[in-house]
Amino acid sequence: MSAPTHTDRRLSVAIVGLGSIGGVAAGCLAVATRYHVIACTRRPVERLTLEQPDGTVALPLRAVTDPAQLEEPADWVLLCTKTYQTDSAAPWLARLCAPSTRIAVLQNGIGHVERIAPFAGGATVLPAIVYYNGERLAPDRVRLRQGSDRDIAVPDDDCGRAFAELFAGTPLRVALSDDFAALAWRKLLINAVANPITALTLQRQAVLRRPDVRELCLKILDEAVAVARAEGVRLTDDEPARALATLFTFSGELGTSMYFDRLAGRRLEVEALTGAIVAAGERHGIATPLNRALLTLLRVINDAAVA
């Protein structure tokens, strides 16, 4: 990154992956104007238009397409690729990370720290749960929708508090959690039924309201909760019903990312969701036959995906 001068002590924030989530985060930080924001992208981008509840704003953006263009480590890195693209982001992280760097991982699933630590170069890894809806409308245009009372949740520790400070005064509301593992698993429960079922049936979320599908979802979630508890996560018996109740507050007309990815022939984020449940079950000797069946079918679809 270009070296800040002695009179310019702005924090540097690198966004790796300028897609739906990274584009919104980059736009919100750029609006704040108090950071050196740099986007690490695979294609050149010169500006970013952010559509947000308060209006649409067009922002100049510095983007680099080659890690060799980065001159020094960043204060913050926001890793915003899909989970299966993490390996391909390694050259960015190698240039951006020093022990003083903090990496916030804005990706679905669990195990963020374990996934990123091998690439982190001694930097501090902060797991994050994303609740906002981001949509990339074009390579240089993103839309923010806010359907929850928070947009991102992070652990309530020093790094999490610094992250919340980073976004203070921006449109993105960061919540601090003293039980981040439970939050991450609750989000995983929702994703672990909504995504596979809509992708496999090629139907939007209304399909979840069918009594037979609802029954299946509860059984899939019972398996996941048993695994989460074996991991030491504090989830209660009614978590499956609560997860479905949350899902039923959403319009049945909504799709899911996996549904849209399948329609577009893109690769599905299978391993970070259903795969994580099955893998954790294996670690603890807990059978997860329904999740395993979903995983097999989703892997078949993934093997045929074009992108």
Smallest distance, ligand NAP to C-beta of residue 266, A: 8
Q: What is the DSSP string of 121-178?
A: TTPEEEEEEE-SEEEEEETTEEEEE--SS-SEEEESSHHHHHHHHHTTTSSPPEEEES
CB of 186 to ligand NAP, least distance (A): 13
| Cβ distance to ligand NAP smaller for residue 83 or 226 | 83
- Is the separation of the CB atoms in 152 and 175 below 8 Å? yes
The pair of three-digit structure tokens given for residue 252, joined into one six-digit string: 């049945």
Residue 36 or 82: which CB sits closer to ligand NAP?
82
Query: Which residues have a Cβ under 8 Å from the Cβ of 215 and sit 6 or more positions away?
Result: none
CB of 99 to ligand NAP, least distance (A): 23
Which amino acid, 173?
A: R
Taking the complex as a whole, the smallest distance from the CB of residue 152 to ligand NAP amounts, in Å, to 9
For 127, counting Cβ atoms within 10 Å of its Cβ (0-12 exposed, 13-18 middle, 19+ buried), the class is: buried
Binding residues for ligand NAP, rule: CB under 6 A, are 16-22, 40-43, 80-83, 85, 88-89, 92, 106-108, 130, 133-134, 136, 257, 269
The Cα–Cα gap between 207 and 202 comes to 9
Least Å distance, CB 252 to ligand NAP, is 18
Measured from the CB atom, the residue of 52 and 226 that comes closer to ligand NAP is: 52
Q: Which is nearer to ligand NAP, 42 or 219 (CB)?
A: 42
Q: Are 298 and 267 in contact (CB under 8 A)?
A: no
Catalytic residue, chosen from 102, 187, 204, 262, is 187
Burial track 58-92 (b if 16+ CB lie within 10 A, e otherwise): ebebebbeebeebeebbbbbbbbbbbbbbeebebb
The answer to whether residue 187 is catalytic is yes
Closest distance of CB 147 from ligand NAP, Å: 10
Output 94 or 297, the one with its CB closest to ligand NAP: 94
Phi, psi of 11, rounded to the nearest 5 degrees: -65, 145
Q: Are 20 and 136 in contact (CB under 8 A)?
A: yes
Residue placing its CB nearer to ligand NAP in the complex, 263 or 287: 263
Residue tagged 């299966």 (tokens): 84
User: Residue of minimal CB distance from ligand NAP?
Assistant: 19
- Give every strand in the sheet of 152-155, ordered side by side: 62-64, 35-40, 11-16, 76-79, 102-106, 124-130, 152-155, 174-177
Residue with tokens 């209304």: 206
Among all residues, which ones are annotated catalytic?
187
